[in-house]
Amino acid sequence: MSKKIKSSVPEDKELIIGILNDSKDTLNRIYKNYFPMVLQLVLTNNGDEDEAKDIFQESVIVLYNKVKGGNFELNSKLKTFIYSICRRLWLKRLNQKSKNSSVDITDFDEIISVEEDLEHHQEKELKFQQMEHALVQLGEPCKTIIEDYYIQSKSMQEICEKFGYTNADNAKTQKYKCLQRLKKLFFQKLG
Amino acid sequence: MKSDFDLINRIEAYLTGELSPEEHAEFDQLRKQDSAVDLKVVEHQAFIQQISEYGMQKQLRTDMESIHEQLNINSIKDEVLPAKFKVRNLWNKYRLNTAIAASVAICAVMLTLLSSGYFNKSITSNYSALRREINNIKRSQNQLIKGINDRPVSGPANPGQFGGTGFALSANGYIVTNYHVVKDADSVYVQNSAGESFKVKQIFIDPAFDLAVLQIIDPGFKSLSDLPYTFKKNSSDLGEDVFTIGFPRDDHVFNKGYVSSLTGYAGDTVAYQVDISVNPGNSGGPLLDNKGNVIGIISGKQTQTDGAAFAIKSNYLIQSLASIPQDSLVDKLVLNKKNSLSGLSRTDQIKKLKDYVFMVKVY
Query: Tell me, what's the pLDDT at B88?
Result: 64
* Contact assignment for B68 to A53 by CB distance below 8 Å: yes
Q: Are residues A97 and A17 in the same domain?
A: yes
Q: What value does the mean pLDDT of chain A take?
A: 80
CB B261 within 8 A of CB B272: yes
Q: Is A155 among the domain residues?
A: yes
Cis upstream peptide for B280 (omega within 30°): no
DSSP A78: H
Q: Specify the CATH number for the domain of residue A177.
A: 1.10.10
* Domain housing A142: 122-190
Rounded-to-integer distance, Cα B42 and Cα B11, Å: 10
Q: Which of A49, A57, A127 sits opposite B50 (nearest CB)?
A: A127
Q: Is residue A33 part of a domain?
A: yes
pLDDT at A101 over 60: no
> With bands split at pLDDT 50, 70 and 90, how would you rate the model's confidence at B157?
very low
Would you call B79 an interface residue with chain A, using a CB distance cutoff of 8 Å? yes
Distance of CA B26 to the CA centre of its chain: 93
* Option in A3, A60, A146 nearest B79 (CB): A3
The pTM of the full predicted model, rounded to 2 decimals, is 0.45
Q: What is the pLDDT of residue B296?
A: 93
Is residue A1 one of the residues assigned to a domain?
Answer: no
B24 among known catalytic residues: no
- Residues forming a β-bridge with B291: none
Are both A19 and A92 inside the same structural domain? yes
Probe site for chain B from A23, A176, A180 (most B CB atoms < 10 A): A176
pLDDT at A68 exceeding the cut of 50: yes
Q: Do A27 and B9 touch (CB under 8 A)?
A: no
Q: Which helix or strand (DSSP H or E) is residue A125 part of?
A: helix A115-138
> So what's the pLDDT on residue B80?
72
Residue A40 sits in a domain whose CATH number is 1.10.1740
Task: Find the length of chain B.
Answer: 363
**Adjacent-strand bridge partners of B258:** B241, B275
Chain A residue with CA closest to B55: the answer is A151
B283 in active site: yes
| B13 vs B152 pLDDT, higher one | B13
Is A5 in Cβ contact with B64 (below 8 Å)? no
User: In this predicted structure, what is the pLDDT of residue B86?
Assistant: 57
- What does the pLDDT average to over A30-49? 86
Has residue A100 got a pLDDT over 80? no
| Pairing, β B293-301 against β B230-231 | parallel
| Domain contains A182 | yes
pLDDT band per the 50, 70, 90 thresholds, residue B119: low
The reported pLDDT for the residue numbered B153 is 39
Q: Are A52 and A77 within one domain?
A: yes
Instruction: Convert the pLDDT of each residue in B313-353 to its tens digit.
Output: 998 888 888 888 877 777 888 888 888 888 888 899 898 88
pLDDT at B203: 87
Give dist(CA A153, CA B113) in Å, integer.
71
Q: Of residues B150 and B168, which shows the higher confidence score? A: B168
What would the mean pLDDT of B259-280 be, rounded to a whole number?
Answer: 86
Share of chain A above pLDDT 90, in %: 0
How far is it, in rounded angstroms, from Cα B160 to Cα A122? 81
In B172-201, the residues whose Cβ lies within 8 Å of chain A are none
Q: Which residue has the higher pLDDT, A6 or B223?
A: B223
- Give the pLDDT band of residue B196 (cuts 50, 70, 90): confident
Q: Does the distance separating the beta carbons of A68 and B60 come in below 8 Å?
A: no
Query: For residue A152, what pLDDT is reported?
Result: 81
CA distance B82 to A43: 11
Residues whose CB is less than 8 angstroms from the CB of residue A132 and which lie 6 or more positions away in sequence, other chains included: B54, B58
Question: Which chain B positions have a beta carbon within 8 Å of A28's beta carbon?
Answer: 67
Residue A3 has a pLDDT of: 44
Residue B199 scores a pLDDT above 70: yes
On whether both A53 and A26 belong to a single domain, the answer is: yes
- pLDDT in the model for residue A181: 86
Residue B207 is predicted with a pLDDT of 85
Is A6 among the domain residues?
no
- Interface membership of B20 toward A (CB under 8 Å): no
> Any idea of the CA torsion for A106, A111, A115, A117, to the nearest 10 degrees?
-120
- Residue B281 dihedral angles phi and psi, to the nearest 5°: 110, -20
Is pLDDT at A5 greater than 60 in this prediction?
no
What region does B267 belong to: left with phi over 0, alpha with psi -120 to 50, or beta?
left
Helix axis angle for A78-97 and A115-138, nearest 10°, is: 70
Which of these three, A65, A96, A113, is where a domain ends? A113
- Please check whether residue B95 touches A, CB under 8 A: no
Q: What is the pLDDT of residues A113-148, one digit of tens each?
A: 778 888 888 888 888 888 888 888 888 888 888 888
B170, B206, B236, B283: the active-site residue: B283
- Shared domain for A80 and A133, answered yes or no, is no
Pair A18, A103 in one domain = yes
| Structural domain contains residue A34 | yes
| Mean pLDDT within B108-124 | 73
Range from B93-97, B148-152, B300-304 that averages highest in pLDDT: B93-97
What is the per-residue pLDDT for A6?
A: 44
For residues A154 and A95, membership in a common domain is answered with no
Looking at the complex, report in whole angstroms how far the Cα of residue B95 sits from the nearest Cα belonging to chain A: 13
Q: Give yes or no: residues A71 and A29 share one domain.
A: yes
Q: What is the pLDDT of residues B289-312, one digit of tens each?
A: 988 899 999 888 877 777 788 899
pLDDT of residue B42 exceeding 80: yes
Per the CB < 8 Å rule, is A128 touching B9? no
* Number of structural domains in chain A: 2
Same domain (yes/no): A154, A108: no
B47 and A CB contact within 8 Å: yes
Q: Which of A66-80, B54-68, B250-264 is the least confident region?
A: A66-80
The beta-carbon neighbor of B57 closest among A35, A43, A61 is A61
Name the minimum distance, in Å, from the CA of A186 to any CA of chain B. 10
- Would you say residue B5 has pLDDT above 50? yes
Side chain identity at A96, as an amino acid letter? Q
Asked if A93 and A152 sit in the same domain, the reply is: no
In the prediction, which pLDDT does B82 show? 65
Are A78 and A144 members of one domain?
no
Residue % of chain B over a pLDDT of 90: 14
Determine, yes or no, domain membership for A181: yes
Options B180, B206, B289, B299, the catalytic residue: B180
DSSP-derived secondary structure letter, B224? P
Q: How far apart are CA A156 and CA B26, in angstroms?
A: 24
**Per-residue model confidence (pLDDT) at position B127:** 29
Banded model confidence at residue B124, pLDDT cuts 50, 70, 90: very low
Q: Is the pLDDT of residue A37 over 80?
A: yes
First to last CA, chain A: 50
Q: Which residues of B touch A128 (CB under 8 A)?
A: 53-54, 57
- Answer yes or no: do A102 and A153 share one domain: no
Of A113, A146, A166, the one marking the end of a domain is A113
Residue B61 contacts A, CB cutoff 8 Å: yes
Q: Does B8 touch chain A (CB under 8 A)?
A: yes
Average pLDDT over residues A87-111: 74
Distance from CA of B106 to the nearest CA of A (A): 29
* Candidate from A60, A132, A173 with C-beta closest to B54: A132
Q: Is A168 part of a structural domain of the chain?
A: yes
- Overall average pLDDT of the B230-249 stretch: 89
Q: Indicate if the pLDDT at residue A9 is higher than 70.
A: no
- Domain end call among A83, A113, A143: A113
